[in-house]
Amino acid sequence: MKQFTVHKGLVAPMDRENVDTDAIIPKQFLKSIRKTGFGPNLFDEWRYLDKGEPGQDPSSRKPNPDFVLNQPRYQGASILLARKNFGCGSSREHAPWALDQYGFRCVIAPSFADIFFNNCFKNGLLPLVLSESIVAGLFNECLAFPGFSLTVDLDRQVVVKPQGEEFPFEVQAFRRYCLLNGLDDIGLTLRHKDTIQSFEAQRLAQKPWLARTLQAG
C-alpha cells in the first residue's frame, strides 16, 4: 500500500450529496477478478454518454463534456471534494480501488458511509472529514479559482489552503499509523514475518508429520 504523508494536489469538486458506490463504480465492472484497471470506469455512468462494459477501450467511449472530471481545468486532480454521505450504498471495495486508480489520494467531505470509510483506509486512500461550512467554503474557492489546490498533511493532521490557512482534522491513531507507513492488513502481518517463520519451523520440528499433511493438501 502507498504511504500517505503530505500530499499537495489539484482539487476536483463533486457537488452532489449521497454519492453511492454504484455511481462510483457501476455493478457491471465488479465482474473482474483483478484488483486493477478500475480507474477508467470511475463514475462511469456520469463520465460517459454511452454504456460501458468491462474491458472496453476508454478511447472508444463518448465522454460527457459536462461532467466535472472531463473538464480541462480538473485534469490531473488528486483530491476530490464531495458533499455529505459520500460512498453510501453497497459495500464494494472496488469503489476506493477505482478512486485510487484514477489518481485520487484523498476525498474530503462532511461525512462518509461507514463501510466505504473503512475500505478507504485499507487501500491507502484518505477519507478526510471537515465540517459542512468549511467544505462549502472550499467548494466556492475551487469553483472560483482555476487550479485551486490543497495540501493535506497527515502527519500534522491539517489541510492547508494556498494562502496558508489551515484546517485541523482527526484520524484515528492506528489508521494514521498505517497510512503514514503504507501498511495494509498484509503489511501489518509481514512485520512479524521472522516470528511467524520461527514458529512454523519450531512447529514442524516438533510435529514433522505436518509437513506431509501440508504437501498432500
Question: Given this model, what pLDDT does residue 78 score?
Answer: 98
Amino acid at 109: A
Question: Given this model, what pLDDT does residue 111 score?
Answer: 98
Where along the chain do the CATH 3.20.19.10 domains lie?
A: 6-183
Question: Given this model, what pLDDT does residue 217 score?
Answer: 47
Architecture field, domain 6-183? Alpha-Beta Barrel (3.20)
Question: Given this model, what pLDDT does residue 120 score?
Answer: 96
For 91, residues 6+ apart whose C-beta sits below 8 A from its C-beta are: 21, 115, 116, 119
pTM greater than 0.85 (yes/no): yes
Question: What stretches in the chain show pLDDT beneath 70?
Answer: 185-193, 196, 198, 201, 209-217
What does 69-131 look like in DSSP terms, one character per residue?
GGSGGGTT--EEEE-SSBTBS---THHHHHHHHHT--EEEES-B-HHHHHHHHHTT-EEEE--
Question: Given this model, what pLDDT does residue 211 score?
Answer: 67
